[in-house]
Structure 1
């Protein structure tokens, strides 16, 4: 058993090393004064200064954050409503069909989804830009929220709802005071997942961006095609750190909700 445990730990260390080594390599050279990724000549913050002095890049960062926040909020609302609708469907076949349709959007290749949106927006006359990117991000984020919220709804005992109704609660009160508080961890998980997917998405966004509007992922791709610049390293490092902060924030929110739930159960 101990031998298997050591092998498992070594395997995990190896996997994480392979995954994180390129990221730390990129971060390391973002402080290189030499301007290349071949030899570290000295420590500098000039590449980070260039990022913050580039007005166009700051506007793109703002665009990315606005798209991510708006799409996450809207997709969370739609995803919660969708999860509730699926949960309260009585026919098993209908429920399985809805779940399958939801899951297909998650496993479908991003290139196909992006191309489909491009054709759709072109056919119905939506100009490529802010609106097309926002709608696309909402569309691929909703299924993620549904998947995160559904387990909490299925975990919730029907006796809670029955007890609330017996005490005279209306449907609205049951939803707002019983169901939503119980599934709050799933809602937060769905929101943060949607936010992360929106910030990181490239393939779908690449298809639906238009002239004059772009996001960070597409901009980084464009800069990388022009040649190696350590400004990309600095920008990528900042994005990675923001993502880490989001993960830490989600962790603390989850821990807080678990403590509150534990106190409520003990009472």
Structure 2
């Protein structure tokens, strides 16, 4: 038993090394004073200085963060409403149909989704740029939020809401004082997942981005086509560290939210 546990741990370590080795390799050479990723000459922060001195790149970073925050917030609101609606469908067949429709954007290839949005925005006359990117990010983030919130709703006992109604609570008070506090961990999980998907998305964004507006994923792709610069290593390192901070932040927020919610429900 002990031997199998050690073997399993070694396997996990090996898997993580394989997954993270390219990232650490990229991060290592972001501090290289040379211009290539073949030989490390000496330690330098010049590539990071170049990133922060690039005004256009900083504007693109701001665009990306604004898109991610807006799409994350809006898709979280819509996703919670959608999860509540799915939960209140009692018949199995319509409920399964709604869940299947919800999962279409999750399982569909990004290229097909991006091309579909491009055709749609062109037909209805929406100019490609900030609005088109925001709408497309909201569209593929809402199903993710529904998937994250719905299990918490299914986990909650209906007797909690029934007890609140028996005590004279209105529908709004049941929602705001009982349901939402209970599913807060799922809501935060959905928001951070939507935020991460928006920050990372390339394929869909590539189709719906117009002239004069870009996001980091599209910009990195465009620059990489003209040759690998170590400033891309520095930028990618900063993005990786930002993502790690988001995950750590979600972990601590989820812990702080789960404890009061559990205590409130137990009362």
Aligned to 2:121: 121
- Give the Cα separation in 1 of the matches to 2:188 and 2:263: 20
Contact kept? 2:72, 2:191, Cα under 8 Å: yes
Q: CA deviation digits over 1:138-184, x for unaligned, max 9? A: 00000000000000000000010000000101111111111011100
Distance 1:157 1:29, change over 3 A: same
Aligned to 2:93: 93
Aligned to 1:186: 186
TM-score (structure 2 length as normaliser): 0.98
- Give the Cα separation in 1 of the matches to 2:211 and 2:257: 44
- RMSD over aligned CA atoms reads 1.1
- Give the Cα separation in 2 of the matches to 1:199 and 1:253: 20
- Give the Cα separation in 2 of the matches to 1:22 and 1:178: 46
- Give the Cα separation in 1 of the matches to 2:10 and 2:73: 40
Shift of 1:228: 1.2
Contact kept? 2:178, 2:265, Cα under 8 Å: no
Shift of 1:3: 1.8
- The reply to whether residue 142 of structure 1 matches residue 142 of structure 2 is yes
Once the two structures are superposed, the pairs formed by residues 31-50 of structure 1 within 5 Å of their partners are: 31-50=31-50
> SS of 1:52's equivalent?
helix
Q: Which runs of 5+ in 2 are unaligned?
A: none
Number of residue-to-residue matches in the alignment: 267
Contact kept? 2:74, 2:138, Cα under 8 Å: yes
Shift of 1:258: 3.0
Structure 1 runs, 4 residues or longer, greater than 6 Å off: none
Contact kept? 2:32, 2:41, Cα under 8 Å: yes
- Give the Cα separation in 1 of the matches to 2:130 and 2:257: 35
Shift of 1:257: 2.2
Q: CA deviation digits over 1:3-56, x for unaligned, max 9? A: 211111111111100100000000000000011100110000000000000000
- Give the Cα separation in 1 of the matches to 2:225 and 2:6: 43
- Give the Cα separation in 2 of the matches to 1:261 and 1:161: 15
- Give the Cα separation in 1 of the matches to 2:168 and 2:95: 29
Aligned to 1:13: 13
Aligned to 2:133: 133
- The reply to whether residue 26 of structure 1 matches residue 26 of structure 2 is yes
Aligned to 2:156: 156
Aligned to 2:54: 54
TM-score (structure 1 length as normaliser): 0.98
Aligned to 2:227: 227
Shift of 1:81: 0.2
